[in-house]
Amino acid sequence: MKANLPETSNSRIVIVGGGFAGLKLARSLANKKFQVVLIDKNNFHQFQPLFYQVATAGLEPSSIAFPFRKMFQNIKNVHFRMGLVNNINHQEKFLETSFGRVNFDKLVLATGADTNFFGNANIAKYALPMKSVSEALSIRNTILQNYEQALSEDHPDKVNALLNIVVVGGGPTGVEVSGTLAEMKRIILPKDYPELNFESMNIYLVEASSKVLGTMSEISSTKSKGYLEKLGVKVMTDTFVTNYNGDVVEFQNGEKIVTKTLIWAAGITGNVIKGLPEELWQRGGRLKVNVLNEALPNIYALGDLAYMEEDKKFPKGHPQVAQVAMQQADNLAKNLVKNRQKPFHYNDLGSMATVGRNLAVVELPIKKFQGFLAWIFWMLVHLMQIVGVKNKVFIFINWFWNYVTYDQSLRLILKPKVKTES
């Protein structure tokens, strides 16, 4: 079956994935001399850095998502299709998708990355990942459902298992979700569940390496760990998780923690699509590309999916962060529009992470700073990056309200209704 797309005499550029890289490229090619086809499994763009705030009831999912069709309503050369890409025929230049065959002149893969469970089937089955809005909402549902259930339990051990939360992965996501959960434990949850003793609740942040925020400087790592411990998070470094069965987390050193909630933020792997030569796929499901982000003639990869060794500053590939994705998309767009071949070089603008109220760490090329000023800077940067004016306003109102009242009003358990056969 052939996909129903408008015929055109212009070169067709197909973009697979509407994350930071795919969306940036599509918007950069808007109203240009190409026909652009954007394919994504969802009909909306989602802002990954704030998933943890959905998971901890700070924001509604709709605040960090924006419909693709709304973005491109008045853009005649950009066409969106929702579906899955099943296979790439790179010799004959077409895709096999869930909605039919799509021919291309140039193909850009920006499918991003998914959670990496490192081959552990039990962890994959029982742990809670956070790589999409729906997964973040699932974490929120699980935590709140566990506390509702804890009210009906008599045995202290069962209550503690429902209250305890283990977060695996000491990167920005793990640090941010742990800090927010600690603040909820201290300020919000005791008001919602006065019958429960939250002094017995423990929040653990587990990291396999020797420090949290391992890609940042020693001062940022030390400060963030201090902030977490001040909030009451039990930080466990040099600790490897070996198993989780839905009730007990097991570690390489023989220790065990009883919990019904394991949030997995420990690693990512690229979203592989069938059809490309196997030798192009590198460790972590990344696609090997040259300095033009080209994997094969007229086939490109951007963002988390792209593995580029030629950049001397990053011989093991660029960090899998939003700034890399957007800069690669910008460079590729200019190359396509101007018909040039300018190599990509990553301009590191810095990194940041927030730990909690008035607590964050920021590293810029010219300065490192922590605390309240870093927290304000973190919020401003993220607010500017959000797609849609309405979303920016809603997020700002939520943040302001949470800051003034020390509370969130979004602690709802929202689950889809499951249809049963009659």
Q: Is pLDDT of 422 > 70? A: no
Q: Which residues pair with 16 in a beta bridge?
A: 39, 109
Is the model more confident about 194 or about 313?
194
312 Cβ contact partners less than 8 Å away, ≥ 6 residues apart: none
Residues forming a β-bridge with 257: 249
* CA 297 remoteness from chain centre: 30
Which ranges in 5-132 belong to alpha helices (H)? 20-28, 51-55, 68-71, 121-126
pTM for the model: 0.92
Q: Predicted confidence band at 203 (pLDDT cuts at 50, 70, 90)?
A: very high
CA distance 153 to 175: 30
Instruction: Return all residues near 176 (Cβ < 8 A) that are at least 6 apart.
Output: 52, 353, 354, 355
- CATH architecture designation of domain 12-115+268-338: 3-Layer(bba) Sandwich (3.50)
Does residue 139 carry a pLDDT above 90? yes
Rounded CA separation 266/130 (Å): 10
Distance CA 124, CA 129 (A): 9
Instruction: State yes or no: pLDDT of 22 exceeds 80.
Output: yes
pLDDT at 418: 60
pLDDT of residue 218: 94
Burial track 177-197 (b if 16+ CB lie within 10 A, e otherwise): bbbbbbbbbeebbeeebeebe
Measure CA of the first residue to CA of the last residue in the chain; give whole Å. Answer: 34
Taking the C-alpha atoms of residue 128 and residue 174, their distance in angstroms, rounded to an integer, is: 12
The share of the chain scoring above pLDDT 70, in percent, equals 98
Nearest alpha-carbon partner for 167 in 378, 355, 417: 355
| Phi, psi dihedrals of residue 209, rounded to the nearest 5° | -85, -175
**How high is the pLDDT of residue 412?**
80
pLDDT above 80 for 122:
yes
Mean of all residue pLDDT scores within the chain? 92
State residue 360's pLDDT score. 96
Could you tell me which of 88, 195, 201, 219 has the C-alpha nearest to residue 143? 201
Task: State percent of the chain over pLDDT 90.
Answer: 82
Q: What are φ and ψ of residue 315, in 5° steps?
A: -65, -15
Highest mean pLDDT among 78-82, 314-318, 391-395 belongs to 78-82
Which pLDDT score is estimated for 415? Answer: 75
DSSP H helices, 164-217, are 172-183, 189-192
Q: State how far the Cα of 200 lies from the Cα of 182, in Å rounded to an integer.
A: 13
Q: What is the spatial distance between Cα 112 and Cα 324, in angstroms, rounded to a whole number? A: 12
Look at residues 208, 180, 185 and name the one whose alpha carbon lies nearest to residue 360. Answer: 180
C-alpha neighbours within 13 Å on the C-beta side of residue 355: 29
Joined tokens for residue 262:
């394991």
User: Model confidence at 409, in pLDDT bands (50, 70, 90)?
Assistant: low
Cα 143 to Cα 136: distance, rounded to the nearest angstrom:
11
Residue 384: CB atoms within 10 A of its CB come to 8
According to the model, what pLDDT value does residue 411 have?
A: 79
DSSP H or E stretch at residue 203 = strand 203-206
pLDDT value, residue 407 = 78
**Is residue 99 a contact partner of residue 81, using CB atoms and an 8 Å limit?**
yes
Residue range(s) in the chain whose domain bears CATH number 3.50.50.100: 121-266
> How far apart, in whole angstroms, are the C-alpha atoms of residue 158 and residue 68?
44
Answer whether residue 46 shows pLDDT above 70: yes
Mean pLDDT across the stretch 350-371?
Answer: 94
For the segment 302-360, what is each residue's pLDDT rounded down to a tens digit? 999 999 988 778 888 999 999 999 999 999 999 999 999 999 999 999 999 999 999 99
Q: DSSP string covering 120-137, please?
A: -HHHHHHSEE-SSHHHHH
* Fold annotation for 121-266: FAD/NAD(P)-binding domain (3.50.50)
Domain with CATH 3.50.50.60 in the chain: 12-115+268-338
- Mean pLDDT, rounded, for 384-406: 89
Q: What is the mean pLDDT of residues 111-116?
A: 93
